Amino acid sequence: MPILYAERIRLRASEREDIPLFLKWVNDPEVCEFLEHSSVLNRVQEEAWFERVSSGPRTELPLVIEIRQPDSNDWTSIGNLSFMNIHPVNLSAEIGIMIGEKQYWDQGYGTEAMRRMCQYGFEELNLHRIFLRVYEGNERGKAAYRKVGFVYEGTMRQARFHRGRYWDIDFMSIIKSDWVSNP
User: Is 20 strand, coil or helix?
Assistant: helix
Q: What is the pLDDT of residues 6-58, one digit of tens each?
A: 999 999 999 999 999 999 999 999 998 888 876 788 889 889 989 999 999 99
Q: Are 107 and 154 in contact (CB under 8 A)?
A: no
The model's pTM: 0.93
Which amino acid is residue 114, in one-letter code?
M
User: Where residue 176 sits, what CATH number does that domain have?
Assistant: 3.40.630.30
Question: Widest CA span of the chain, in angstroms?
Answer: 48
Structural domain harbouring 34: 4-181
- Domain total of the chain: 1
